[in-house]
Amino acid sequence: MPEANPPAMELSEAPPMLAVRGVSRRFGGRQALDAVSLTLAPGEIICLVGQSGCGKSSLLRLIAGVDAPDAGSIVLNGAEIAGPGVFVEPEDRHIGFMFQDYALFPHLTVADNIGFGLRRLPKAEARRRTAEVMARIGVAGMAGRYPHTLSGGEQQRVALARALAPQPVLLLMDEPFSNLDRGLSDRVRAETLAILRDLGTAAIIVTHDPEEALAAGDRVALMQDGRVAQTGTGRDIHDRPCSLYVAEFFRPCNRLAGQARGGQVATPLGAFPTTLADGQGAVVCIRRHALQVAAPGAGAAAQVTGSVFLGDVEELALRVAGVSEPLVMRVMGHAPARPGDTLSVAVSPDGAMVFPAI
């Protein structure tokens, strides 16, 4: 059964194109970032995820050059762009920034919005690149329109085109899909990722949505209270979380309290192996889908106290003797029991994770 493990190592053999090294930032009495380190390989897409106020946007601002770190350094393609005595201005970093609200200029046409960051180029070259990126992103037919005439998805694509027009070495995206409804968000996100991968553009995408983070990034970096709690592929960080916080961020868990004895933690649902020292308090985290109906007598007796139908799945609330809080079991399709029924429930193999008690 998976147990707490160290954060996944960053395995790229090539030197990282971006290296954030021990970066800290304080605002008044609040520590927004605390010794954050993160690397990004060429062409890699990382999803930076976490609860509101955990430091995601603060980190993006430091990388973009909108703000400066109090400590630590940031290196881009081997050159330090922020650190003790060093600060490269945002316009000289070759980093694109796509804002959550898109920040399109309302008085400029789509073409002028996209070409806004190309003012240093000769006019003919700026027009050529603007036309090229509009065609690539699929907004050429909107060239003469103004932002207020565009749908949310169209505005998102124009903002992406504007960010990519200067050919940045790195694109930073702050909650780029949060203003779109769910169906449109999924489609636009897939289109955006395909464009970034086709261009080979490295990107950091900030999101608060765990499912989006798992689906979109080559790697995921989960932040907690100004620090990086764990990094890894979506599958690694979901299946092998290093802490109870990480486990519960990506999927709700049933918690069972216990104590380590002889390499196990005994609970009303069975004993689970652990490497915690004897006598140490433990929390057994069991994801909802890991609870399964067992043959009578082969599991713990559970009374169904409620049910919630969610379409493809149904969730049952269960009362188990010796467990203080109701457990939640998620089953595909229709539940095998209704409120008032009694079931025998067990935990699927590798379905429990053991962490030190908080």
Q: Is 2 within a domain?
A: no
Residue 266 structure tokens: 């005994």
**Contact between 189 and 221 (Cβ < 8 Å):** no
Question: Is residue 230 situated within a structural domain?
Answer: yes
Q: Is 134 a domain residue?
A: no
Residues 264 and 240 in one domain: no
Short-list 142, 185, 192, CA closest to 163: 192
Q: What is the DSSP letter of 3?
A: B
277 and 325 within one domain:
yes
Residue 1 has pLDDT above 70, yes or no: no
* β-strand pairing of 264-267 with 45-49: unpaired
Q: Which distant-in-sequence residues (6+ apart) come within 8 Å of 30 by Cβ?
A: none
pTM more than 0.75: yes
282 and 200 in a single domain? The answer is no
Structure tokens at 72: 């630590």
Measured CA distances, 18 to 43, 124, 154, 205 (Å): 11, 32, 30, 14
Tokens 């608060």: give the residue: 208
Let me know: does 260 contact 282? Beta carbons within 8 Å: yes
Alpha-carbon gap, residue 329 to 290, rounded angstroms = 8
Which residue among 195, 219, 246 closes a domain? 246
CB burial readout 46-70, b (16+ within 10 A) else e: bbbbbeeebbbbbbbbbbbbebebe
Q: Quick check: helix, strand or coil at residue 276? A: coil
- Digit-coded pLDDT (tens) for 243-285: 999 999 998 999 999 999 999 999 999 999 999 999 999 999 9
Question: For 54-113, what is each residue's pLDDT tens digit?
Answer: 999 999 999 999 999 999 999 999 999 999 999 999 999 999 999 888 889 999 999 999
Provide the 3-class DSSP secondary structure of residue 284: strand
Q: Specify whether 235 is located in the same domain as 275.
A: no
Residue 51 in this model has a pLDDT that exceeds 50: yes
User: Are 213 and 321 in the same domain?
Assistant: no
Question: What average pLDDT does the structure give for the chain?
Answer: 92
Q: What is the pLDDT of residue 6?
A: 39
In terms of DSSP H, where are the helices of the chain?
56-64, 110-114, 123-137, 152-164, 182-199, 210-216, 234-239, 244-250
- Type of residue found at 142: M
126 found inside a domain = no
Is 110 within a domain?
A: no
Are residues 187 and 315 both part of a single domain? no
Concatenate the DSSP letters of all residues of 14-29 into one string. Answer: SPPSEEEEEEEEEETT
The SS3 call for residue 114 is: helix
Q: What share of the chain in percent tops pLDDT 90?
A: 81
Nearest to 95 by CA among 108, 112, 109, 82: 82
Give per-residue pLDDT as tens, 166-208.
999 999 999 998 888 878 888 989 999 999 999 999 999 999 9
- Give the tens place of pLDDT for each residue, 2-13: 444 434 444 446
Domain closes at, from 194, 226, 246: 246
If asked whether residues 301 and 207 sit together in one domain, one would say no
Domain range enclosing 276: 252-356
Burial of 198 (0-12, 13-18, 19+ CB in 10 A): exposed
Over residues 36-58, the mean pLDDT reads 95
- Phi and psi, residue 235, nearest 5°: -65, -40
| pLDDT tens by residue, 206-235 | 999 999 999 999 999 999 999 999 999 999
Instruction: Looking at the structure, tell me whether residues 233 and 323 fall in a common domain.
Output: no
What's the order of all strands across the beta sheet hosting 313-320? 291-293, 342-347, 300-309, 313-320, 327-332
